[in-house]
Amino acid sequence: MNLTELNRIATAMVAPGKGILAADESSGTIKKRFDAIGVESTEENRRDYREMLFRSKDAMSQYISGVILYDETIWQDAKDGTPLVKLIEQSGAIPGIKVDEGTQALPMCPGELVTVGLDKLAERLKKYYERGARFAKWRAVIDIGGGIPSMTAISVNAHALARYAALCQAAQIVPIVEPEVLMDGDHDIERCYEVTSRVLSKTFQELRVQRVALEGMVLKPNMAISGKKCAKQAPVEEVAEKTIRLLKACVPAAVPGIAFLSGGQSDEEATAHLNAMHKLGPLPWGLTFSYGRALQAAPQKAWSGKAENVAAGQRAFSHRAQMNGLASKGEWQSSLEKKAA
């Protein structure tokens, strides 16, 4: 393992003003998003859509540090025969790959899930590295509800995250460690804070047990935020303050950076929260975004599967990437959204 190189890549992934595009939607997820804009989810349409994003030169070169790909996408070529990973590299961004294989019901723990995919992961990582991937992602899902999460679910998922991260580093691939506490419930921000604290503490304990070099990884957590169904939604400043307090308590300074998931927030909410956190610096690690839907909802709608809309889709993507790039330096203002409308 070359830790110097892993650290270089991890640091580049969280460079100031740039963030990570999560374009790793599963076949089922992208079908739902295409259904919403009236586009059939064929392999060709999925390729065309992602090629549109990766050829958005201004956005990719200025605001995107890396792209998380799905297994299908990493092997695809653009219409002109150029591998999509090459388009990403040519923009100056780093190609990455989602390597978990989804979730299964966790035995003896009703309503809870465990992420799977460790079997043969070492062999898959070698192939992904040869194709150009220099980082990977594994998502653990922790739900909040009556009597959950259990310590079992937290422990099992943290253990799997740590084993995945160790396998990645052994393959000279930077692991994005993503323990996501979902915001789907009716819990308040205090409950989210408490559960996320337990999840992060257990995750870093397991990472140490598996001898993962913290200098060669990136953390992708949720923010401390109210559940979607909670009657009282915490304001932007409270989300920022509690999230930074939580991270300072749980995330060692050796970690080069933290790239937030958006987790169901609206485009502007995700941007505003990230921006507010940068007002609370200085911070011991880089702090940026790794958004999927919050970067892509606008370009998907603008594109709508039509070749004549590619330029409009790219403009929408560039705008969202720029807004989040500014937020990752604490320089975003809501008035910038209105100017672009």
Catalytic residue annotation: 178, 220
Quick one: tokens of 215?
A: 């200098």
The encoded tokens of residue 262 equal: 């958006």
d(CA 116, CA 297): 28
64 vs 91: CA distance, rounded Å: 9
Structure tokens given for 109: 């723990």
List the one residue out of 224, 221, 334, 327 whose CA is nearest residue 271: 327
C-alpha separations of 186 from 63, 143, 147, 241 in Å: 34, 11, 13, 21
- C-alpha radius of gyration, the chain, whole number: 19
Identify which of 221, 217, 195 has the alpha carbon closest to the alpha carbon of residue 208. 217
